[in-house]
Amino acid sequence: MTRDNRTNSKSHIPKGSFLFEKVVPVALAVMGIVMLGLILFAAGVLLGIVKF
C-alpha cells in the first residue's frame, strides 16, 4: 500500500508545485512564440525578404 501510494505520487504532477504551476506553462508559451518567430524567419528567407 505504501509502495503504491509512492508510485502514484511519482506519476502525477504534484499539487502546488512552482515548477509545474508557473515555470512549465510560461516556458511552453515562450517556446511556442519563439518557434513561430523562427518559422517566420525561415519563411522570410524562402520569400527573399531575409537576405542570405
Partner 1 sequence: MSVNHILPFVSTIIMLFFTVSVLQRFFVRRQPHFLFWGIGLAMFGAGSFAEAYLALAWNKWVFFAWYLFGAALNAAWLGHGTLYLLVRKKWVHAVTAILVLGSLFAGNLMLQAIPKLDEAVFTTDKIISEQYGTKALEAGEPVPAGAQTITTTYRGEEVTAVRGILPLGAPVRLTTPFFNIYGLLTLVGGAIYSAYLFWRKRVMPNRVIGNVLIAAGALLIGFASTLTRLGYGEYLYLGELFSAILMFAGFRFAARPQPDEVMQSAPAAAD
Question: Would you tell me which residues interact with partner 1 (CB under 8 A)?
Answer: 7-8, 10-14, 20, 24-25, 27-28, 31-32, 34-35, 38-39, 41-43, 45-46, 50-52
* Cβ neighbours of residue 23 closer than 8 Å, sequence gap 6 or more: none
Element (H, E) at 37: helix 24-47
Q: How long a stretch of residues is the chain?
A: 52
